[in-house]
Chains A and B, each alone.
Chain A
Amino acid sequence: MSEDKTKISRRDFFRGAAMGVLGGTALGMGLFSYSPWSKEYLPKVGRKLADIGTCKSVKVTNISETSWFENAVLMGDIKGAGGLLVNQYSYNWPPFGDGTGLGKGTYESGVTKIRKFLPNNLEEAWAIAEKLAVHPENAGGFACLVELEELDGTKRKFLLDSGWSYKWMDECFKREGIDQMLKRREIEAIIVTHEHFDHFWGIPVTYKYDPTITTYIPEGFYPEGMQYLKDAGHRGQLIKVKPGLNPIIPGLATFVFAVPIICRVYGEQSIYANVKDHGLVSITGCCHQGIIQFAETAFKEVKYENDQLYGIYGGLHISPFEDWDPKYDDLVLSLGKYGFKKIGCNHCTGLLCAKKFVEGGYPVIKGTARYRTKETNYLGNGDKIGFGIEV
């Protein structure tokens, strides 16, 4: 009898214990997880303060920020091809048009039509693309020239991206004298920010003038992109940059973020320039990692002048297609606390976002809205911005 009672008691104990474990765990989850005390468990943020050196000044010339000319046309193509996750090489956009129509192309079938013309006969290559590709007239491109002055006065030049349309980019290169700089080997490297069509597919235009130029790409390029570098006629050094900090010359480094990006692209590279007595300048292509993430990464990783985040130039990838989301407002509302002194935004920042920056009182450097740039809130095509130097 007493044995039976013990047995029953043990069973009851386990029943109670099972309920208690579930209840206790749920209680902890509910009461502690979002309480002020939970912050004690979070990892402490340490600063690595890597020294990338300093430079005297940085000047950026916007070669082209108009990646495409009609947003509705681009988005119509994206919609027709199946949305934002579709592989960019299958869109049948130029220069990889194969005549099969929207969303049905491949890199190989497209490049086969133009390979023999790369990089020296781009007029012929683009003429073929115009016949076989979807909406070739809509292609523009993003590229800028970064001129850095070292502390001893030496000037160093880097190209950031090479745009998209061969025709448009060649015109822009000529307009800004980039073609001659490349021919004279004044530009020591091209830094490709990421594999997207509007930043990378115009690479033969750069190689047309200097096929030996050192090329930095972020790790994460797909096989089609790697093959395109060869097909485009590159004969110089190719440096595949791993995620993290990559110092290039005193005062200038790139940082690669291992991030997945729309249209099946992976990895993004952006520039940090540390300007003497001013602070850190961020120069971006699309900044898919987010400008605040880029600023936070700088805070954790890099030592910079006066501990000041000084300037921004480039696409900030907030509303690239003039779309919106409340999280973009999070960015607009938060950017102010980082204290940037000069913001030159364009490209995928989004015109609405630039407008909100201006309305928010941020130090946006206005442009001249020339050469098909749509509004002065953007630092537009042909405009320049200086950090540590007046332009």
Chain B
Amino acid sequence: MERFGVGYLEERKLVERWPQPIPAIVALVLTLVVFYATWWIFQDPRGWMRMYTPYVGYMYTRWWLIMLIWMVYIFNYWPFKRSWLENTHPIIKGVVLTAISVVILLVLIKGFFESLLGNYGIAYFNPGNLMKLPKMTEFFALEYASLACLMFAAIASWLSPAWVVACEEVPWQDMNQPGKGISILVMTFFLSTLVFFMTMHSHMGILYYPWQYFTSIAPPYWEQFANTVSGNFHVSWIMCCTVTVWLVETIWERFPFKLIQTNWLRRVVAFFGIIAIAWGMHFFLYFAQELTWGPAIRGTRLINAPDWRWLHVGEMAVFFLVPALFLNFYCGNWPRRFSLPVNVLVRTAITIAAAILLYIFYYATSHDFLGTQKGFMHEQQFPMIPTIWLINIWLAHHWFMDNWPAWKMVPKTADEIAQDHAAAQAKVAEIRWNPALGWGLGVGAVCGVAFYFIVLSILPWAYRSITVIK
């Protein structure tokens, strides 16, 4: 039975060609070169295609991410055979698979959203239909349609991997491809559609005059709680969900949910646990902005506007994803020598520190090389575009190209795979309830809460002490 790419990522051994940190540096430099070249070609407002209009480029960036997830996590590289994945040169694999992801991306945007949904369902997915509105310009028709598509993408970028990471592909985990992929795709797309209608449709409904009372809830139900009628409130927690899914999958190795032995309970707790952690992040990152920039004021533009603050929560969350993925893809998920919880704690601490440094670096310098302007807030600038663009390149490099050239892919032997499983199970088995663990848990929880309040106290001071934008 052909397995296509089922288990390919776990069953490949990436052998470093040189001692660390050389491979990590090579990968970083190489991917940054590709990032900048492609940024100039596709996105840069000074460059060739100038898709950073902003929403057109934003939409393609977000959906490309999902295409990569679909191809690898949902369809397990189907229809490519395992032997092709194992024996083809990484450059050829990278070119072929990336080209396919782009073709699917175009079919989805132009075929599904614009032509099918936009012509036979919801007008705002089709710029041509939006042009029928009085005074609508071609530019904003395209921007609005792109906005609707990218809001859908935000949801799909959370639910698509969540069904694999949290729900472990249930109930189709034992099904062959492409049946499994199609089933998960249909399920996650259906859920994305539901969430879209409940979170984003009202945003689109009040985008047009008069408010579309009879087709969407206007004003939306979240107005009082979120202090805005903008759907950015939902973009915020949904982006936090996306980031949390990947943190759980990469630097957390599905901890702590993997400690739960009962299958159905683990999957349910993982799915809703990810949402709970994401809501914690959602509230905290909003609060962090209030601590540094002052309370949000409804109706203002720019940095004090609640809608932008919520959006910026999602943007800040993605800054955490960048170092987490780098640590996982190029640094062997360092460290691995301690117990699972300690490894996770150390990696999380590294990720937080690196994300803060990246955030400062981005806002201090990005206007010098991305064709953008300085400032935390610009109504037409979205740091999620370059950060997700870089992540997409890393995903293509890691998933399609086996980290070439600094790593060489060697399929693991059956013994090695068995050893890996045994080692992973042993790590989980180490964590058993006993008084020492209980004491540790209690003391740790108190320290965690104390750490949280210490952060609240020092954040305003830290922000005042660091000049990010001169």
Query: Chain A interface (Cβ within 8 Å of chain B)?
Result: 8-30, 32-34, 38, 41-43, 45, 71-72, 75-76, 78-79, 81-87, 90, 103, 258-262, 264, 266, 288-290, 292-293, 296, 317, 321-327, 329-335, 352, 356
Query: B448 and A85: CB pair below 8 A?
Result: no
Within 8 A of A (CB), among B298-343: 298-302, 304-308, 339-342
Query: B279 and A30: CB pair below 8 A?
Result: yes
Query: B345 and A22: CB pair below 8 A?
Result: yes
A30 to B441, CA, bound (A): 18
Which A residues are CB-close (under 8 A) to B295? 42, 45
Query: A290 and B445: CB pair below 8 A?
Result: no
Are A12 and B440 also in contact (CB < 8 A) when A18-B342, A23-B448 are? Answer: yes
Query: B301 and A9: CB pair below 8 A?
Result: no
Are A21 and B444 also in contact (CB < 8 A) when A16-B438, A72-B137, A75-B139 are? Answer: yes
Q: Which of A12, A86, A262, A356 has the most CB of B within 10 A?
A: A12
Query: A335 and B342: CB pair below 8 A?
Result: no
Which A residues are CB-close (under 8 A) to B230? 325-327, 330
Within 8 A of A (CB), among B139-162: 139-140, 142-143
17 inter-chain pairs at a CB distance below 8 angstroms, sorted by A residue, are: A11-B339, A17-B447, A20-B442, A25-B451, A28-B448, A38-B287, A85-B380, A259-B377, A288-B301, A292-B298, A321-B139, A326-B231, A327-B232, A330-B299, A330-B306, A335-B299, A352-B209
Query: B445 and A27: CB pair below 8 A?
Result: yes
Query: A34 and B45: CB pair below 8 A?
Result: no
Query: A331 and B299: CB pair below 8 A?
Result: yes
Query: B294 and A42: CB pair below 8 A?
Result: yes
Which A residues are CB-close (under 8 A) to B137? 71-72, 75-76, 79, 321-323
A162 to B140, CA, bound (A): 28
Q: Which of B138, B301, B342, B446 contacts A72 (CB 8 A)?
A: B138
Query: B437 and A326: CB pair below 8 A?
Result: no
Query: A42 and B290: CB pair below 8 A?
Result: yes
Query: A28 and B449: CB pair below 8 A?
Result: yes
Q: Which of A30, A42, A334 has the most CB of B within 10 A?
A: A30
Query: B342 and A26: CB pair below 8 A?
Result: no
Query: A324 and B208: CB pair below 8 A?
Result: yes
Whether, in the assembled complex, B52 has its beta carbon less than 8 Å from a beta carbon of chain A, the answer is yes
Are A20 and B142 also in contact (CB < 8 A) when A45-B294, A82-B50, A83-B53 are? Answer: no
Query: B300 and A325: CB pair below 8 A?
Result: no
B154 CB, nearest partner CB in chain A, Å: 16
Are A83 and B451 also in contact (CB < 8 A) when A41-B291, A322-B137, A325-B207 are? Answer: no
Query: B299 and A16: CB pair below 8 A?
Result: no
Are A75 and B138 also in contact (CB < 8 A) when A30-B276, A82-B53, A352-B209 are? Answer: yes
Query: B453 and A17: CB pair below 8 A?
Result: no
Which A residues are CB-close (under 8 A) to B287? 33-34, 38, 41
Whether, in the assembled complex, B256 has its beta carbon less than 8 Å from a beta carbon of chain A, the answer is yes
Which B residues are CB-close (under 8 A) to A41? 287, 291, 456
Query: A334 and B298: CB pair below 8 A?
Result: yes
B206 CB, nearest partner CB in chain A, Å: 5
Whether, in the assembled complex, B183 has its beta carbon less than 8 Å from a beta carbon of chain A, the answer is no
Instruction: Kindly report which residue of chain B lies nearest to residue A35, judged by CB atoms.
Output: B283
Which A residues are CB-close (under 8 A) to B284? 29-30, 33
Which B residues are CB-close (under 8 A) to A32? 452
- Not counting A17-B443, A21-B448, A82-B53, a sample of 18 additional A-B residue pairs whose C-beta atoms are within 8 angstroms of each other reads A18-B444, A26-B280, A34-B283, A76-B137, A83-B45, A85-B371, A258-B375, A259-B302, A266-B375, A292-B297, A292-B298, A321-B140, A324-B208, A324-B209, A326-B230, A327-B228, A327-B305, A330-B229
Instruction: Kindly report which residue of chain B lies nearest to residue A333, judged by CB atoms.
Output: B299
A323 to B208, CA, bound (A): 9
Q: What DSSP secondary structure best describes chain A's contact surface?
A: helix
Are A30 and B280 also in contact (CB < 8 A) when A24-B448, A79-B53, A82-B50 are? Answer: yes
Q: Which of B231, B345, B460 has the most CB of A within 10 A?
A: B345
- B interface residue count range (under 10 / 10 to 19 / 20 to 34 / 35 or more): 35 or more
B80 CB, nearest partner CB in chain A, Å: 36
Which B residues are CB-close (under 8 A) to A329? 206, 219, 229
A340 to B21, CA, bound (A): 62
Type the 1/0 row for B37-75, where 1 means its CB is closer than 8 Å to any CB of A. 000000001100010111010000000000000000000
Which A residues are CB-close (under 8 A) to B1? none
A207 CB, nearest partner CB in chain B, Å: 28
Whether, in the assembled complex, B132 has its beta carbon less than 8 Å from a beta carbon of chain A, the answer is no
Q: Which of A10, A20, A85, A326 contacts B381 (CB 8 A)?
A: A85
Q: Which of B277, B286, B373 has the most CB of A within 10 A?
A: B373
Type the 1/0 row for B353-387, where 1 means its CB is closer than 8 Å to any CB of A. 00000000000000000011111011111000000
Instruction: Kindly report which residue of chain A lies nearest to residue B293, judged by CB atoms.
Output: A43
Query: A16 and B436: CB pair below 8 A?
Result: yes
Are A15 and B341 also in contact (CB < 8 A) when A72-B137, A293-B297 are? Answer: yes
Which B residues are CB-close (under 8 A) to A81? 50
Which B residues are CB-close (under 8 A) to A9? 434-436
A20 to B135, CA, bound (A): 57
Q: Which of A12, A26, A33, A288 contacts B286 (CB 8 A)?
A: A33
Query: A14 and B339: CB pair below 8 A?
Result: yes
Which B residues are CB-close (under 8 A) to A45? 294-295
A296 to B304, CA, bound (A): 10
Instruction: Kindly report which residue of chain B lies nearest to residue A353, judged by CB atoms.
Output: B209
Instruction: Kindly report which residue of chain B lies nearest to residue A332, judged by CB atoms.
Output: B299
Query: B339 and A86: CB pair below 8 A?
Result: no
Query: B373 and A266: CB pair below 8 A?
Result: yes
Are A34 and B286 also in contact (CB < 8 A) when A14-B342, A266-B374 are? Answer: yes
Q: Which of A22, A33, A71, A266 contacts B135 (CB 8 A)?
A: A71
Instruction: Kindly report which residue of chain A lies nearest to residue B348, judged by CB atoms.
Output: A22
Whether, in the assembled complex, B167 has its beta carbon less than 8 Å from a beta carbon of chain A, the answer is no
Which A residues are CB-close (under 8 A) to B174? none
Instruction: Kindly report which residue of chain B lies nearest to residue A265, judged by CB atoms.
Output: B373
Which A residues are CB-close (under 8 A) to B281? 29
A152 CB, nearest partner CB in chain B, Å: 37
Which A residues are CB-close (under 8 A) to B138? 72, 75-76, 79
Are A83 and B447 also in contact (CB < 8 A) when A25-B452, A29-B284, A329-B229 are? Answer: no
Whether, in the assembled complex, B97 has its beta carbon less than 8 Å from a beta carbon of chain A, the answer is no
A300 CB, nearest partner CB in chain B, Å: 10
Are A24 and B50 also in contact (CB < 8 A) when A12-B437, A13-B440, A16-B436 are? Answer: no
A206 CB, nearest partner CB in chain B, Å: 27
Whether, in the assembled complex, B22 has its beta carbon less than 8 Å from a beta carbon of chain A, the answer is no
Query: B45 and A86: CB pair below 8 A?
Result: yes
